[in-house]
Amino acid sequence: MNSPLKLIDLFSGAGGLTLGFTRTYGPEGLPAFKSVWANDVDKSAAASYSENFGDHCVHGDLVDLLESGIELPDADVVIGGPPCQGFSLLNKKRKADPRKQLWRPFMDVVDRCGAEVFVMENVRQLLSSSEIGDIKEQAHAQGFTVADGILCAADYGVPQIRHRAFVVGARGADPSSIFPPTPTHREPVEDGDQVKLFADATNSLPDWRTVRDVIHDLPAPVGTEIRDVPPPLDLHFGRNPTEKSKKRYRAVPPGGNRFDLQANAPEITPDCWVRKKSGGTDLFGRLWWDRPSVTIRTEFFKPEKGRYLHPVEHRPITHREAARIQSFPDDFRFQGSKIEIARQIGNAVPPLLAAAVARVAYELLTGSTSSESDLVVREPSVRYA
């Protein structure tokens, strides 16, 4: 391969998928993929994408852009995640959500740019939705063979238990022969769990990465706003909690949650949590040092939204800590307000998970095998010293 394969990223967000693809290098030491066009309806996310990958992320509604006759460059692969809220269990109106149909303009772009491979990402509920049959039917009509599956980010080096659905289509090749990609990490196995040890074919792999692995070196956060200092400390800021919030933080032990808050400090436990006797075990939860994180969502800075308290410090995790848990390197430059950046971090496909799928796309496009392609994922990091 003498030049990088060209990719288009739709519903790109800040570019987690693109980062995984473009930080993947071929045997000649050159990037395996290069972004040539992208689109997102979120202005700050489009700005982050352009800041990191070149000024070609078009801000706007994709349907409107296509109807206006916008010119698209040729591309080898189209990647992207049509907004997941249409399928998410958190969306109570998902059955009638028009965002469930945004896979249609995605496939339109695939057709217009002449791509030989596409990668569509979404929440895992996509694969049990009524729309998955329509997606596959359309892909087959456009000449693609399709494979799909649910991947766990922790299996690919991301310190986070995050499950995502992927649909991979290829012309002239069968993705099911190499998809899902081979894991790079494995769930730790108990010493006495001989049955699992016998059944587990990935015993030689390193264990899942943990929260400790990626945030232990960061100092206490400073201030409550984005700072004009080098990474990682630019996004390593805190909040300004009330005294009641501080007391609540201190009442939650390592690995604990709202039930521990109620047991240890019932007088400052919200009444709605007292009345709710079951469910919501991650609410006001504290992360574990030596496990992967739970799924990082867009409001990770609010512990009442999930298990987002620091493993030992009495505070929520910071933007920098959330970005690292998502496997963003410190040199990735986010644009926007702290609320907008949090949304970009939480909505992103973890770049290391994307890199695993990039290896599949590379092999489908070049015809090489893993051993022949010798792909390398570079994970630059700017660590606090």
Cβ 9 vs Cβ 3: under 8 Å: no
How many Cβ atoms are within 10 Å of 301's Cβ, its own excluded? 22
CA distance from start to end of the chain: 38
Dmax (CA) for the chain in angstroms is 67
Cβ 56 vs Cβ 35: under 8 Å: yes
Cβ 265 vs Cβ 251: under 8 Å: yes
Cβ 173 vs Cβ 198: under 8 Å: no
Q: ∠ at Cα 38 (127, 324), nearest 5°?
A: 70
Point out the catalytic residue in the list 84, 113, 152, 272. Answer: 84
Q: What are phi and psi of 69, to 5 degrees?
A: 85, 25
Assign residue 60 a region (left: φ > 0; alpha: ψ between -120 and 50; beta: otherwise). left
Q: Per the structure block, which two tokens stand in for 377? A: 């994922």
Q: Catalytic residue at 84?
A: yes
Alpha-carbon gap, residue 222 to 113, rounded angstroms: 47
Residue tagged 């994180």 (tokens) = 293
Helix, strand, coil percentages for the chain (3-state, nearest 5):
40, 15, 50
By C-alpha distance, which of 18, 6, 81 is closest to 49? 18
Catalytic site positions: 84
